[in-house]
A and B are shown apart, each in its own frame.
Chain A
Amino acid sequence: MERMSSAQAIARLTKRPPVGASELLAQEPLQIDAARGFARMAYQGKAEFCNQLGVIHGGFLAAMMDEAMAIAATAARGFDYVVPTLGMKTSYLAPAGPGRLIAEGQVVRAEERLVFLEGRLFGGDGELAAVASATARFRKVPWK
């Protein structure tokens, strides 16, 4: 596989219009390093994602990291796979208020059928709000 630039990888990712989860989260790709298995994405922390304390529900921070980790993994395999998550651990370090949030996904180790991932979620002020680690499975995309 020839080396893919971040712009090429983003073009590849956005070839398919966002649906469901990535549309709800208003996903915007910022950087994808396919060779390194890394993705940095922006999401919109909408008012409707807030709990009674007016901060983004932890599960939605997990959803953003899950998306970013899946993109890091699929980019590392030339976008030929989807990556259903098998298990995910999330630690909530600080509350994140509504607004633009940044999630990063990083492949820690990729095997033929399994991938180990890490995720980070930064609040509007750049503060690290949550971290995650996940195990996922590579599955050939059905739409090619």
Chain B
Amino acid sequence: MNLSPSNGDDLQRQRRRDRGPVAALLGHRLLAVDRAAATVEVEFRAEPHLFNPMNVMQGGFTVAMLEQALLDAVAALADRPHEAATLEMQCNFLAAIGPGPLRCRAGLVRQGRSTAFVEARLFAGDGELAATATSVVALTAAAGD
């Protein structure tokens, strides 16, 4: 077992994982994989195309960012390759999010054979906790596994 806080090869491999075009729309970038803590850290960008008429991020896109980070955590930290699909997700919106970079820390709470439980916290640029989420993710063996 590798207990180093952030393994460079691991991070590069996880960064290269195909996430589809939606990742660019959210300004997604994987910053770190910490296997010892069972967490990943992900950067997003809050930009006007994701905002509501109040000029802050529409809650649904906050959900989108948190969900992406939760799936990143499953992909990076599960004990073997899986196809992962979110079954349900609860998101709480603690503070309005204005433009700029955001940091999200997502952690694998428990992983079974066919289910993973994940949680995430999204921080605004000034470090303020802006949103939290938990999700239940269905795991199926990756194709060719």
Do A and B make up one complex? yes
Binding site for B on A (CB under 8 A): 16, 19-24, 47-54, 57-60, 62-67, 70, 82, 84-92, 95, 142-143
Q: Which chain B residues border A65 with CB–CB below 8 Å? A: 60
| 10 nearest A-B residue pairs (beta carbon) | A59-B64, A63-B60, A66-B60, A21-B58, A20-B51, A51-B20, A85-B59, A52-B18, A62-B63, A57-B22
Given known A-B contacts A62-B63, A90-B88, A48 and B22 have beta carbons under 8 A apart: yes
Cβ < 8 Å to A, chain B residues 1-48: 17-22, 24-26, 48
In the complex the two chains form, what is the Cα distance from A52 to B83 in whole Å?
11
Given known A-B contacts A59-B67, A82-B54, A92 and B25 have beta carbons under 8 A apart: no
The interface size of chain B toward A, counting residues with CB under 8 Å, comes to 37
Asked whether any CB of chain A lies closer than 8 Å to the CB of B65, the reply is: yes
Tell me if A85 and B93 are in contact (CB < 8 A).
Answer: yes
In the complex the two chains form, what is the Cα distance from A89 to B59 in whole Å?
12
